[in-house]
Chains A and B, each alone.
Chain A
Amino acid sequence: MISVEDFAQDAEKWFAEHTPRDPGFMLPLTFMEVGTDQQFEFLRNWQRQVYEAGFLGAAWPSEYGGGGLTDAHQSAATKVMRAHNVPIMMNTIGLSWAGPLILDIGSEAHKKKYIKGILSADDIWCQGFSEPENGSDLGNAQLSAVRDGDDYILNGSKIWTTHGHYGKYMILLARTNPDAPNKYAGLSFILTPMNVPGVRTQKIRKLTGEHGFTQTFFEDARVPADGLMGAEGMGWKIAMQTLEYERGARGGQAGGYSITEPDPLEILNLARESGQIDDPVVQDDLIDFIIEAQSLNLNGQRAKIGALVRDNPAGLPLMDKLAKTEFAREINQYALTLQGTRSAYYVDEPNAVDGGWWHRSYLNAFSATIGGGTSQIQRNIIGEHVLGLPKSY
């Protein structure tokens, strides 16, 4: 097996040569931001190239299309990708949720069928958890799945489905038993094809004006029951398990990254280029951002040092999303205040600062403070699971 060092060197060389520069349109910073077909095709193509070069799924088993190397190899490649600030890997639901889960508890047939397409981005995956009436209260999801021979018959609707209209497969949280003793026990987790009769997606326009997620309707849609993961009634547990892959708490993801974290350097550049870096009022604000960025960076380092988190091991991992996503929102919001009258502009206006990038980033920052469990829900989780406070409802 190639050494990690050599692998990292190969990656360094490859990304130095192949990282695309300025495609002529704005590239999404997160997979949730993909808003146009142009962006989608570009990123899908890019993911395929990275995969074919061997730097995505490097640690996944080679018999299913992975690289057959180790997590250390993939981490090294991912690090190089970050260093080169390469475009994101867009098939995130496959790479970070469905893929690890299938490799963990899927059947041999599942692995053969799905893994390679996840890596090559031939098969786009989406996630059907949220419903119009059940978002934060995910455990109350009502989309019904009724067993009929070798199939499930699905009825109901999912919403805010990222990449829904590109999706070939969905990881679906459905209610197989409406009479279960509690709401969680009635849920099941099903790998669901999207291109079957009775499944229809409808694009939803985002606050940025772009499209990117959908409402997905299921009307007597018949899907193979062999997509069931685990057993009926285990849906909630499995959904929580996928969250752990996604957070990186469990390992097993394909690698790469799907969310670019804000680099405070950018805002310093903005302050400098706009001639405000010497303004003490601005410096006062910037120092707060630098301290915040540094504390988040150090939180990440400290989380890995057992002795420094022993009084509350769950604290840092559980606050990670809240702290990072709120920081990203705030720093982008602040950037607008450095633009004077030009902060009135938006993407495509020739006089917009950085082509309107900051405005779009600010609006898009809410995708992470709302999606994946809102900041308010994160605070509930930290309050209840770390501080031991009573539940609110």
Chain B
Amino acid sequence: MSFDPQALGRLGLTEEQVELMDVAENFCRDQTSIAAVRDMIVDKSGLDRAAHKELGQMGWFGIAIPEAYGGVGLSLAEAVPVAEQIGRRLMMVPFIPATVAAQAILTGGTPSQKETYLPQIVEHGCASVALLEPDGSFDLTAIEASAILGADGYKLSGTKTLVENLDSAKILVLSAKIKGAVRLFVMDTRLIAETAMRPEILIDETKRAYTLTLDNITLPESALMDESKAAAALQRIDLAANLLASAEQLGAAQACIDYTVDYLKTRKQFGKLIGSYQALKHTIVDAYVGYEKARSLLYAAAHSFEEQGKGEIATRMAAVGAGRALSFAADRSIQFHGGFGFTYDCDAQLYRRRAIFHDSLFGNTRWHKKKLAALLFN
């Protein structure tokens, strides 16, 4: 390979992105607070219904959905600033699952599935994806779940894990093998019995996810998505999820750094503000530098997302940068709060847990680097 920066993604910006940055920043700041998020942690559904409804009214679930399906007709690049601000406030709304499900349908759905489901997602934003399985693999194609066509449709078997916000989802995109080949289905969640869902205990208490037992579910034949586009849709899901998760993480990293810097400016020991001690000052600067570098990677990924090859490289680089930035900032945040940092009341834990959660969903740093190695060195 050769190192051609242009081949790795580049920066750029649309007017809509700039606009959304402002609107999203103000909206998310005014709509919620860490105190409200903490209150909602004990809520079973963990859904900020008011915020969720407003997101729908502003059309944000349809940002990257074409106008023909009732969407705004922009691209995922414009969804990035929204995810960033949602992440910054740890807002409990399933923006990523809904957006990713829509992208899956857009890429791999049949014409009638697109017409049926996309306008609904634009309207209510209640959609999710069921792709991961209990073995813990990040590989979306290494699955056990299967679907067998019978007289009344596809009979499913197997188990899906980490299905985000399944309790409130109305539409679900799921993967299963038909005769050994990975296929995608899109279904109405009313077909899922309450007993098939088990709420999972997550490291990130501001997120919700379920284990879903597929064994008693039979899907109509019309639920099968376009078989010829299954691979492309899976790839789309992977990259869209990583792009938006990177944005969410960097929003959280910003909040985490601000939170820590505030403490360093107010807490005194040995008669001095602890932020004057360079063991802390220099380390938080390193966290900040890491965060800014990752943001550059993120915006380049957003801008290059639709470009063949480049999009994937830029997105995986952003995922590495964002994962590291939040993990480091939050890890040091715990330490720099001293005994308070060890408490549940200190927000540092919220950010640290968020980083671990994201590292667990659609690939962690090592996974992305392995993929990059294949893309760059072969």
- Chain A, residues 297-319, CB within 8 Å of chain B (1/0): the string is 11101100101100110011001
A388 at the interface (CB under 8 A from B): yes
Assess whether B285 is in contact with A379, with CB atoms less than 8 Å apart: yes
Assess whether A382 is in contact with B2, with CB atoms less than 8 Å apart: no
Assess whether A295 is in contact with B294, with CB atoms less than 8 Å apart: yes
Question: At the interface with chain B, which of A23-31, A147-155, A169-177, A263-271?
Answer: A263-271
Identity of the chain B residue whose Cβ is nearest the Cβ of A294 in the assembled complex: B8
| Residues of chain A within 8 A of B289, CB atoms compared | 319, 322-323, 382
A352 at the interface (CB under 8 A from B): no
What's the nearest-Cβ distance from chain B to residue A277, in Å?
6
Assess whether B265 is in contact with A278, with CB atoms less than 8 Å apart: no
A209 at the interface (CB under 8 A from B): no
Please, how many angstroms separate the alpha-carbon atoms of A370 and B181 in the complex?
Answer: 58
A380 at the interface (CB under 8 A from B): yes
Main SS of the interface on chain A?
helix
Interface bin, chain B? 35 or more
Residues of A366-393 contacting chain B, CB below 8 A = 376, 379-380, 382-383, 386-393
Assess whether A376 is in contact with B8, with CB atoms less than 8 Å apart: no
| Residues of chain B within 8 A of A393, CB atoms compared | 276
| Residues of chain A within 8 A of B13, CB atoms compared | 305, 307-308
| Residues of chain A within 8 A of B295, CB atoms compared | 302, 308
Pick from A288, A315, A379: contact of B278, CB under 8 Å:
A379
A287 at the interface (CB under 8 A from B): yes
- Chain B, residues 1-38, CB within 8 Å of chain A (1/0): the string is 11101001111010001100100000000000000000
What's the nearest-Cβ distance from chain A to residue B370, in Å?
8
B177 at the interface (CB under 8 A from A): no
Assess whether A379 is in contact with B281, with CB atoms less than 8 Å apart: yes
Assess whether B286 is in contact with A389, with CB atoms less than 8 Å apart: no
| Residues of chain A within 8 A of B18, CB atoms compared | 307
What's the nearest-Cβ distance from chain B to residue A34, in Å?
28
Identity of the chain A residue whose Cβ is nearest the Cβ of B287 in the assembled complex: A387
Identity of the chain A residue whose Cβ is nearest the Cβ of B373 in the assembled complex: A283
B49 at the interface (CB under 8 A from A): no
Pick from A295, A379, A389: contact of B321, CB under 8 Å:
A295
Question: At the interface with chain A, which of B109-117, B159-167, B184-192, B296-304?
Answer: B296-304
| Residues of chain A within 8 A of B277, CB atoms compared | 392
| Residues of chain A within 8 A of B273, CB atoms compared | 389-390
Pick from A290, A302, A311, A380: contact of B296, CB under 8 Å:
A302
What's the nearest-Cβ distance from chain B to residue A385, in Å?
11
B226 at the interface (CB under 8 A from A): no
Assess whether B276 is in contact with A297, with CB atoms less than 8 Å apart: no
Which B residues form the contact surface with A (CB < 8 A)?
1-3, 5, 8-11, 13, 17-18, 21, 254, 257, 261, 264-265, 272-273, 275-278, 281-282, 284-286, 288-289, 292-297, 299-300, 317, 320-321, 369, 372-373, 376-377
